[in-house]
Structure 1
Amino acid sequence: MPKMSNESTARRVVKLVASDRVSAFDHVLSPGIPDKGVLLTTLSLWWFDLLAGSDGGRGIPNHLAADHVLRGDDSVELIPDAVRGRAMLVRSLDMQPIECVVRGYLTGSGWAEYQASRTVCGIPLPDGLTDGDRLPEPLYTPAYKAPMGEHDENITYERSVELVGEETAAALRDLSLEIYRRAAAVAERHGLILADTKFEFGYDAEGVLTLADEVLTSDSSRYWDAEAWRAGSTPAERMASFDKQIVRDWLAANWDKQGEPPALPDDIVTRTRARYAELLSRLTS
C-alpha cells in the first residue's frame, strides 16, 4: 500500500492507497485483480474497527485518522473520489523496522525449514508434524524489513532486541501474539483458519505503540477453509486458501522464473478475485 502525502502536513496525516496490482515471486504481474484494492481496504477497516474494541475486547490503537471534516453543517470527505473505497487516511508513525510474523500452522517457508531441521525460524518443534498441521502454540517469528528492492530477512527474537531494544521487542511480540489469538478466534467462528499473518507497528507522537499498514487481509495473511482443513487428505485439499495462491500455483506451473512473467489468464484473475471477495463476505457477514 503506497503512501501519498496529504495536503495537511501539519497534522502529519497521509493517504494509504491500495492498488489492484498483484505480485508473486518478486514480480508485479499483469493484469491486476479487479477491485482488489477496495476489498483489502474494506477488510482492513473492518479489522481495525473490531480490534479497536467494537467487539467488547481491549482496544488496540491504530493509525486511522478521520476521513471527513465538518464545514458548517456539511460533512466534507477528505479522500478524493479517484481513490475512494481503496484509501485510508492515517497518522504518520515512527515505524519500527520489524515485520511481526505470527504462525499458528506449519506451512510455507516454515514447512520447508521444518523438513530440514525440525525448526521454524530456529525455534525447535516436535517430530511428526506435516504440512498444514496446527502448531502446539502460535510462534512469533520476526523479520527485518529490508530497504526497498531487497528481501526481508527472518531474524531471531534476540536479533530484534538488538535492533529496537528489549522493551520494544517484547511489546511487539506480545501485542502481535495477542492480536493473532484474538483474530484467529474470530476467524474460527466464521468457519475459517488464520494460519499465519504479519503486522507492522509504529510509535505515535505520544509514544504509544500503534498498529499500522494493512491488517489481517488476504495479502498479509493465510486464511484456510476450516471444513476443508479437517476433511482434506492432501496438503492442497487441507489448505484451501483465500489469497493469491491460485496465482502462485499457475505461475509456478507456467513460468521458469526467467525474464518477465507471462500475463495471467482471465480465469486465474476471476478465480482470485472471487477468493478475495469470499473472504470478506464470510468474515463480515
Structure 2
Amino acid sequence: MRLPILDDATIPELPNHYKGKVRENYDLPDNQRLIIATDRLSAFDRILTAIPYKGQILTQIARYWFDNTSDICPNHVISYPDPNVVLGKRLNILPVEVVVRGYLAGTTSTSILTLYESGKRQMYGMTLPEGLKANQKLPQPVITPTSKAFDGGHDEPLSERQIIDQGLLSQQQWNTVSDYALKLFARGQEMAAKRGLILVDTKYEFGTDEDNNILLADEIHTPDSSRYWMAESYQERFKQGQRPESFDKDFVRAWVTQRCDPYKDAIPQIPENLVRDTSSVYIKAYEMITGRKFDAQAVEAPLLERIRKNLAPYFRV
C-alpha cells in the first residue's frame, strides 16, 4: 500500500503564496501567516523526494516543544488549524542564526568540531581548551552564532562583538536572544534526558513582531533543526572513539551522493524502500522525543483535501 504523501500544498484560494523548499507559506491580513509543512525532502539546494508523514511529524514535534517552552520565551504560534499547519505571527526574522552546542560535534564548515580539528582554538569569540576529543561534552553549552544567509548565500561564523559592530543586532537584542537560547537549550536537554536522549546541539531563529518584541520562530528541537544522540550507548561509543548513535535520517542523501554529483547531475529515482525507511526514522524520532505514539492509521488522506477543508475559513472571500 502506498503511504500518503504531501508533496505540494498549493491552495489558490489562499493569498500571497510563497513556496519554500519544504514549506508553503501564505500571508494573511493582520500580520498572520499560514505555514504548511509538506513531506518534501530537501538537500543539495534541491528537492530529492518526499517522505511520508514528515511534514506532520515535524510540525507536531515543534508543537510539543513550543508548548513546553512558552514560559521561557514567547513564540510565533497562534494556532494549529491542521496537523501539518501552523498559523503564526508574521515576523521580521533577525539576521543571526543562534546555534547552541553542548558537545564538540558537527560536520559542516562552521561546526566547532570541524574548526577545532583544523587547529583553531579561538572561534565565535571564545577559546576552547586543548585536548578535547570528537563528540566530547563541553564544559558548558556555548552559542556559536552565524550570519543568516539569504538568497543562496553561505552562513558565516560570528562573534558577539561582530554582531554588535556590524549592526546585525543591538546589544539589548543580542542579550535577549542569547539568554532565551541558553534557557531553551537547558530545558531541551533536561526533557530529552528523561526520554533517553541527548540534545547535542540545535539552531534557533528569532524574529520581531510589529511591536518589536522578540519571538521564537520557525521550529524548535526537531530532528531537522537539532542533533540528538541515544544516551544509553553514548559513553561506551565515545570511549571506543565511535560515532554516537543518532536518528540517522541521511539514508537518501548518502544514497544520492554515491550515485551522482547532486549539484550537477539529474537525481536518480529514489527507491521506495529507502523512502519508507526514512519515514520510519521520523516516526521513531517523534515517539522518542515526545513520548507519544504516532498513529499512522489515523492520518486522514488524501492530505491536501484534508488541509483544504481545515483551511477553508482562511480562503479569500
TM-score normalised to structure 1 length: 0.83
Determine the structure 1 residue equivalent to 2:40: 21
Contact 1:36 1:276 in 2 (8 A): yes
Percent identity over the alignment?
A: 35
Determine the structure 2 residue equivalent to 1:226: 231
Contact 2:100 2:181 in 1 (8 A): yes
Provide, for residues 63-82 of structure 1, a one-character-per-residue CA deviation record: whole Å limited to 9, x for no partner: 11135xxxxxxxxxxx4xxx
1:42 to 47, 60, 66: 60
Provide, for residues 15-61 of structure 1, a one-character-per-residue CA deviation record: whole Å limited to 9, x for no partner: 112111112333321x2111100000000111100111xxxxx3421
Aligned pairs (5 A) from 1:247-262:
247-257=252-262, 258-262=264-268
Structure 2 letter corresponding to 1:172: V
Provide, for residues 160-180 of structure 1, a one-character-per-residue CA deviation record: whole Å limited to 9, x for no partner: 223112111121112111111
Structure 1 letter corresponding to 2:275: V
Determine the structure 1 residue equivalent to 2:218: 213
1:106 aligns with 2:104: yes
Provide, for residues 238-269 of structure 1, a one-character-per-residue CA deviation record: whole Å limited to 9, x for no partner: 2x222523334334444344423433333332
Contact 2:103 2:200 in 1 (8 A): yes
Contact 1:132 1:235 in 2 (8 A): no
Q: Give the Cα separation in 2 of the matches to 1:107 and 1:261.
A: 29
Determine the structure 2 residue equivalent to 1:75: none
1:235 to 242, 246, 263: 242
Q: Give the Cα separation in 2 of the matches to 1:243 and 1:22.
A: 14
Question: How many residues are aligned here?
Answer: 260
Q: CA deviation at 1:5?
A: 2.3
Determine the structure 2 residue equivalent to 1:275: 281
TM-score normalised to structure 2 length: 0.76
Contact 2:72 2:184 in 1 (8 A): no
Determine the structure 2 residue equivalent to 1:147: 150
User: Structure 1 residues 277, 234: CA separation in 2 closer, same or farther (over 3 Å shift)?
Assistant: farther
User: Structure 1 residues 255, 241: CA separation in 2 closer, same or farther (over 3 Å shift)?
Assistant: farther
RMSD, aligned CA: 2.0
Structure 1 letter corresponding to 2:26: S
Aligned pairs (5 A) from 1:10-159:
11-29=30-48, 31-52=49-70, 58-67=71-80, 79=81, 84-108=82-106, 109-119=111-121, 121-122=123-124, 123-159=126-162
Aligned pairs (5 A) from 1:190-209:
190-209=195-214
Q: CA deviation at 1:86?
A: 0.9
Q: CA deviation at 1:117?
A: 1.9
Q: Give the Cα separation in 1 of the matches to 2:138 and 2:270.
A: 34
Contact 2:24 2:38 in 1 (8 A): no
Structure 2 letter corresponding to 1:183: G
Contact 1:60 1:211 in 2 (8 A): yes
Determine the structure 1 residue equivalent to 2:13: none
